[in-house]
Structure 1
């Protein structure tokens, strides 16, 4: 489990978990779960096109994620945000089907992108992930207050002379970068679980932004580390364990928070 060939696996998984925990907090507080689900699936055709052209799949993921962000932002100005997200998702998935039909040598790569393949991470891949994660962390640090304020009320954000549209675009850009980085590890179908499950559990335990972000990162790290260890022992996909642990964390957070929500109502009824 801790052999030499696994060193890059643990490193890239740790980086991915930290970014997923940070971005996942804002996904939860901003109610952007659908975008967090749609963007990973929308980046899939980028990897398919990159494989078809013989270039690094990560580059294709970033390009497709950027296209998804631009499409969602542009269409969202002219209609409902969730409708714009759905339209972009459908269009990108259609492109992915087209690219896949042009090659017969993509089956293993398709499986890896859908369900994750964290083993065999090269040094160049590790460097790329580290650069993208540093960009994500820098953007989050610079935009932490506007992102948090915008999740409460767009009017409050505009009152601070900050454009809510620009903040929304920046959030989608951060989400897209995080998606492109996380997808090769846990797969397009389960990026959603890593970003939402730990963050929801953290929000259930703390309503304060600082502790909630910290707990979200900790839960995300524990999820990925446990998933790698269990996958190594059982030879089952990492994505399966990530999805299962993410759902378990969400359930435990809900079970923890529910009695505390009921107590004020009970006290009010007694009075």
Structure 2
């Protein structure tokens, strides 16, 4: 249809189209902030094997926003209160394993179930919220204002500063909990503290991506980065780079297509993860192609065999 933005072979011209509108500038700024925040916090989340806990916090953003709207309060407040309360409820409710990770217990699943039920209850009690139901679940990059960007920036700075303060002991406790505790590291307090930081990251990101799509930025970039390298600093840098590429591509392609930003963001996140995993597998020679025949069956030998 005449007047619709169209993609051309001139990249500079296309970028100029994107930044010609204030709403797209706000979307790019907000997307950049949440991509960096989610990628860094998500890197620790994936390393600690707390993806289920992160998903539960993302789900809790939905009843938080719906409940705040029902009470006549800012939805942003609902995001933070609900996610923070869920983090406290889950903190310390899991048992340590031999490698220092925290197994996810029925408490996390219970919190998630109650949160979903509460969210639907709040929606049924407030019909006005139904008009923004899709926004709560799938977000809206294009509805972000300059004030939202500033608030997101402030929250991201505080969350990342808090994470920086506990980064080394948190990494120590994650990799070897027993030794860390023997060295005086308060592993239990770090568990709760990290969940609170994660809840802030989820609440901030959910305001842009929605409660359901926040997981795309929280898991895919860190998981792809850790598939490439286990070293902390390079892994964090890669995670941030992947997150930025996903958000920028998602916003750019959505601007020139009739499909929503959330779809493109999630699609690029999934595609990136698949490409990285396949690339790493092929780069290592298909598990070094170490196939051996044993007792009439095919067995994959250890990747380190023969090295």
TM-score, normalization by structure 2: 0.83
Distance 1:132 1:196 in 2: 20
Contact 1:34–1:82, Cα closer than 8 Å, also in 2 = no
- Give the structure 1 partner of residue 191 of structure 2: 168
- Change in Cα spacing, 1:105 to 1:265, as seen in structure 2 (3 Å) is same
Residues 23-63 of structure 1 show CA distances to partners (whole Å, capped at 9, x for unaligned) of 11111111111112111101211100111122221110000
Q: Where in structure 2 are the equivalents of 1:205-216 lying within 5 Å?
A: 205-216=228-239
Given that residues 50 and 104 in structure 2 are in contact (C-alpha distance below 8 angstroms), is that contact kept between their aligned partners in structure 1? no
2:287 corresponds to which residue?
262
- State the TM-score, normalized to the length of structure 1: 0.93
- Secondary structure of 2:216's match? helix
Root-mean-square deviation (CA, aligned residues, Å) is 2.1
Q: 1:136 and 2:154 equivalent?
A: no
Count, aligned residues: 271
More deviation, 19-28/48-57: 48-57
Where does residue 186 of structure 1 map in the other structure? 209
Q: Which range moves more in the overlay, 166-175 or 65-74?
A: 65-74
Which of these residues, 54, 68, 74, is aligned with residue 50 of structure 1?
Answer: 68
Task: Please tell me whether the aligned partners of residues 204 and 256 of structure 1 are also in contact (alpha carbons under 8 angstroms).
Answer: no
In the TM superposition, what is the alpha-carbon distance from 1:160 to its structure 2 partner? 2.4
Partner of 2:84: 66
Say whether the 8 Å CA contact 2:144–2:208 is kept in structure 1. no
- Cα deviation, residue 243, structure 1: 1.2
1:26 match: 44
Q: Which has the higher contact order (CA 8 A, sep 6+)?
A: 1
1:81 aligned counterpart, secondary structure = coil
Post-superposition Cα deviations, 1:197-252, rounded to whole Å, max 9, x if no partner, equal: 11111112222110000000000000001111111111322111121111111111
- Of residues 109, 119, 122, the one that matches 1:99 is 122
Q: Write 1 or 2 for the structure with the bigger share of helix.
A: 1
Structure-2 separation of matches of 1:74 and 1:97: 28
Q: Is the 8 A contact 1:198 1:220 kept in 2?
A: yes
CA distance in 1, matches of 2:213, 2:79: 16
**Counterpart residue number, 1:41:** 59
